[in-house]
Amino acid sequence: MQLVFASNNKNKIKEIQQLLPESISILSLEDIGCDVDIPETADTIEGNAILKANYVTENYGYNCFADDSGLEVEALNGAPGVYSARFAGSQRNDNDNINKVLELLENETNRKANFKTVIALNLEGKQHLFTGIVNGEIIKEPRGTNGFGYDPIFIADGFSDTFAQISLEEKAKVSHRGKAVALLTSFLKK
């Protein structure tokens, strides 16, 4: 089976392809000739995943899936949430985003947070949603060089290392994206 994954984020594509069974191969937006930066104008993570999946289906006719993810920090009332990628500005810089979260939490004792991924799958004219959440906390300074986004400052419950300190394989077993993709995979196998 071949599905379009509505992304050109090479890190995300690599991570998701590793999580899917070999019988499912994914095409990127680039692979289908889509060079549009699909607008993410919804005010929820679910909404953005749906927007991206619908854009590909409506404009290119492919079965596809799209995801959106966000970091939700309890002390920041769920921020950055849907604005995670551009929290510190439209330049979408991981280090700037991390620094902004750390600054906002500087004097905060409640450092609880979660990562959330929602996958919207458009398959044979029907839409299905899959959600993965991993709870944890924000540490005071970045650690590790693996992963991307907020991985260097997030430690999942039950772990002592950040997502940026563990291997992609280890992260895939416990991450929000890993959980959402596992739900997607079991659905596709049926």
Catalytic residue among 31, 37, 67, 68: 68
Question: Which tokens is 29 given?
Answer: 């937006």
Domain count, the chain: 1
Q: Residue 14: in which H helix or E strand, if any?
A: helix 10-19
pLDDT bracket for residue 53 (50, 70, 90):
very high
The 10 Å Cβ neighbour count of residue 59 is 12
Q: Is 12 annotated as a binding residue?
A: yes
Residue 109: phi and psi, rounded to 5, are -90, -30
Q: Is 55 annotated as a binding residue?
A: no
CATH number, domain of 146, equals: 3.90.950.10
pLDDT bracket for residue 8 (50, 70, 90):
confident
Q: What is the DSSP letter of 6?
A: S
Q: Which residue has the higher pLDDT, 130 or 91?
A: 130
Mean pLDDT for the stretch of residues 61-81: 96
Alpha-carbon distance of 145 to 84, in angstroms, equals 19
**161 included as an active-site residue:** no
pLDDT tens digits along 111-157:
999 999 999 999 999 999 999 999 999 999 999 998 889 999 999 99
Q: Which residue has the higher pLDDT, 190 or 121?
A: 121
The residue to which tokens 């690599």 are assigned: 14
One-letter identity of residue 156: A
Q: Is 33 annotated as a binding residue?
A: no
Q: What beta strand segments (E) does 52-94 contain?
A: 64-73
Q: Is 190 annotated as a binding residue?
A: no
**pTM for this entry:** 0.89
Helices 10-19 and 176-189, packing angle to 10 deg: 50
Residue 108 is part of which domain span?
2-189
What average pLDDT does the structure give for the chain?
93
